[in-house]
Structure 1
């Protein structure tokens, strides 16, 4: 299953292979989305987490009431959210213009933690570590990616490109992260555990 966001059209198109299943209508311009595959523990893809404006919205593709939207969490007015990601235990993290990573428990939709000012600039990409979901990778609009312990608000390590990041992603089952810079350069970092579990090496 796949979903495509149309920012200016304020809509999400959901597909099963090449079959269009439905269109979701958002209130604000969508910026990032992810299927919540770990919420039920069965790897199902019927729930979609979406950032739109300063909100995190949750959509159940099986529901028709309210257009499929089952929950909304409002952030700071005017601070747009640009990224959402899910951890292996189902936690949801969002980040954006306020330079804060907010982590939510999807069972109660309560805030678990906020890692404030973890990036120098607006956050545009997030990814939980595959080694330990208490760690998260944070990419800002500059040339630095930070990995840190989100519940303690402690930075573990960081690495940089040679210019501002245009894109950044992480493998789903390992801490192999890659980024594309404004200079045209591609950077890869293979993060491994050292002899001490809490330490990480690049």
Structure 2
């Protein structure tokens, strides 16, 4: 289980603080592959970043004993001055990977970056960075994979490769997924959380969650 304990998150603006969540308490149940649904601006990406620890709430905390990925398909934590290989080694190290050489080679192979893998990430195209981040993520055995629009990663061939890799991961781990593609959500997920007006509602049945989301 992942517990959101009294989470408040806002962003300052000229009109005052713009709240995404205010004193939010919610338990995300374990043992489910969950679709995160909500209108644009509802806070899906913010929730993902808070869960991943790449962004902090203004108040409250996330409590869990699970090992969560960063948002897969986003180049979160990739340093532009380091090479792909250096990024992979660093990410493996901070995530407790025992055999770093094996892990770096797995990332090299899966990313398909070839010689670019040994060049600084700042030289990469916009499509190469998420390929590196994705390969780094699926190379680690997380308890929960946070998946953000996986269909946007790389070209069609890589997207299919990514989809297959995540399908395999979802058999031994859980996924929490954001996507605007309902077919993609139906492929990976069995349940849903709908975000609306700063509140979260869990639906044990995915189709009920989709129906609620589409009715907003």
TM-score, normalising length from structure 1? Answer: 0.28
More strand by share: 1
More helix by share: 2
